Amino acid sequence: MRIENSFEVDAPPERAWALLMDVPRVIPCMPGAELTETVDDSNWKAKVGVRLGPISLTFNSDVERTEADESARRATLKATAREARGRGNAQATIQSSLAAANGGTKVDIATDLVLSGAVAQYGRGIVQDVATQLVSRFADCLQKQLEVPAADGSAPAAPPEVKPVSGLSLGVRAIASSLRRGLRRLVRRA
């Protein structure tokens, strides 16, 4: 399944690119994600916690940067994730591109996602809506990371404390979003 998202940040493309290349600083911006190891300049290990009501899932992920084209401001990450108790797997190729826009930077993210096992039982619309919610939270965190240091010289905001992302609250928002889309389609047909 392909999921495409875009957002804008209030920072010039050069600063946004520098942050995008700092993967250990970016990983904690994804809700529920925690960097567990830096293997080398292009490979990392991370843990992602997801809570679906009473069920908690933990995914162990290998992340590899396979492309970093600074002149085009385009990067590609490949992630392979395994649920710790064997309840599913995910593979993702995430292509990010940056462009100057409205005095800041527009970030386009295209993700090719393949789910298997129990996690694959959720419908495409739900997965896409949950991904949109996650990207919105991710963009908010990136924006905080890009804020100009305070006048007293203190550093920009640190990544948030890692907590498992609640699939229940995201799922409820995703279902509501799907229902709104369905109602809009019905209204247009009427």
Q: Kindly write down the DSSP assignment for every residue of 139-158, as one continuous string.
A: HHHHHHHHSPPPTT-PPPPP
- CA distances from residue 71 to 23, 99, 123 in whole angstroms, order as listed: 18, 11, 38
- CA distances from residue 65 to 20, 116, 148, 172 in whole angstroms, order as listed: 11, 23, 27, 33
Say how many domains are in the chain: 1
What CATH number did the domain enclosing 27 receive? 3.30.530.20
pLDDT (tens, 9 = 90+) of the chain, 190 residues, equals 888 888 888 889 999 999 989 999 888 888 889 999 999 999 999 998 876 556 677 889 999 999 999 999 999 999 999 989 888 888 889 899 999 999 999 999 888 888 888 767 765 566 666 666 777 787 778 778 877 543 344 444 445 444 445 454 444 454 555 555 556 666 666 5
**Is pTM, for the whole model, over 0.75?**
no
Task: Show the domain range for 89.
Answer: 2-189
**3-state secondary structure at position 185:** helix
Which of 23, 29, 30 minimizes the C-alpha distance to 44?
Answer: 23
Which of 110, 122, 131, 111 minimizes the C-alpha distance to 173?
Answer: 131
